[in-house]
Amino acid sequence: MGDEEKQTPTSLEISMENGNLKEEKASSSNDEPEIKYGGIKAMPFIIGNETFEKLGTVGSSTNLAVYLTTVFNMKSVTATTLLNVFNGTTNLAPLIGAYLSDTYFGRYKTLGFASVFSFLGMVVLMLTAAITTMHPPKCAPGVACVGPTTWQLAFLLSGFAFLVIGAGGIRPCNLAFGADQFNPNTESGKRGITSFFNWYYFTFTFAVMVSVTVIVYVQSNVSWALGLGIPAFLMLLSCVMFFVGTRIYVVVKPQGSPITTVAQVIVAATKKRGVEVPDDNSAMSLFNHIPAKSINAKLPSTEQFRCLDKAAVITDENQVNLDGSANNPWKLCSIQQVEEVKCFAEDNPHMVNVHNLSHSLAPATDLRSVPSPSDG
């Protein structure tokens, strides 16, 4: 696994014979470069990027409720509302970021772009604490607290906006980008992916623990400027770690959004609802085209959700291009696309449960029993 793994993409020649598909592996094209997997060599850069990024983002956002009420003199209700909007947008932004990454930019560009924006957002938060004119004056005893001015609030919100953009690009791409660095079709590559996931979540947990203890302590007991400056510096290290490893990375070109694939499979299966699915889900009976430059592991055919298999059944109306792809992907989908949708359908209930659990616990972890100076 330490050596760079190589895989030569092959093209597929697919022809129609008696309503079935005939699949033959063609010789490798000389004009297609070999895929050189960085493997374990890329792990320090990606893991380092993730670790410093989590130290920065968690460290800067965990204590925001206290920061808004004590430094910006906001009422508790106002601060809570603002943070709810901020947390809601950071949770929705990854949906947009994932679509843009899969459809237009790719994971590498999206991660680089988002990392820079996260750094800018943390710098803005640090400046609001470090520069006295960037936040309201401290509350004097017996005098009503002065709230933030319009431009002070606008500057603060611009920092939140940068953090939202950063979260929208980093969250959906970081883990998948790390998995791209290993060949999923070899045993060493599969072991490398497993090892990467283990290290990823270990460092993730470590970063969160440090952020909610050490960094929060510095913010509350030493200095807000230093407490927010540390996450900004860590995010700068995250950007540096990411870009230093550029020459090692496998950069996968965008191949379309999974949301589009889900829609295509459902539409194609619905149009063929009266078609019978063959008893044997083999490549000879179902459309099984795999793009030549695809580096994803081939999924085995499964029996659950067999109604979706109709999307891959060849009919007289379906036409196949010379490169083996479907002429109309809304009428004919590959069995690989169908299996990807099945995986999504199987995992969706678990994702919903985790989503509901995290949001039900969020009020308990985000809200602090710290009275606002403005509450009197």
CA–CA separation, 288 vs 312, rounded Å?
8
Q: Average pLDDT for residues 248-267, to the nearest whole number?
A: 84
pLDDT attached to residue 12: 37
pLDDT attached to residue 304: 76
Higher pLDDT, 287 or 60: 60
- The SS3 call for residue 261 is helix
Q: pTM (2 decimals)? A: 0.75
pLDDT attached to residue 152: 94
Q: E strand or H helix at 164, and its extent?
A: helix 150-170
**Would you put residue 221 in left (φ > 0), alpha (ψ -120 to 50) or beta?**
alpha
Q: In whole angstroms, how far apart are CA 84 and each of 80, 91, 151, 163?
A: 6, 11, 21, 14
Q: Is the pLDDT score of 223 beyond 60? A: yes
Q: In whole angstroms, how far apart are CA 137 and each of 144, 265, 376?
A: 11, 58, 16
CA–CA separation, 244 vs 276, rounded Å?
53
pLDDT tier for residue 29 given thresholds of 50, 70 and 90:
very low
pLDDT tier for residue 4 given thresholds of 50, 70 and 90:
very low
pLDDT attached to residue 281: 54
pLDDT attached to residue 297: 57
pLDDT digits (tens, 9 = 90+) for 32-42: 456 677 778 88
CA–CA separation, 264 vs 287, rounded Å?
14
pLDDT digits (tens, 9 = 90+) for 298-319: 666 776 777 788 877 877 777 7
pLDDT digits (tens, 9 = 90+) for 113-135: 999 999 999 999 999 999 999 99
Q: How far apart are the first and last CA of the chain?
A: 62
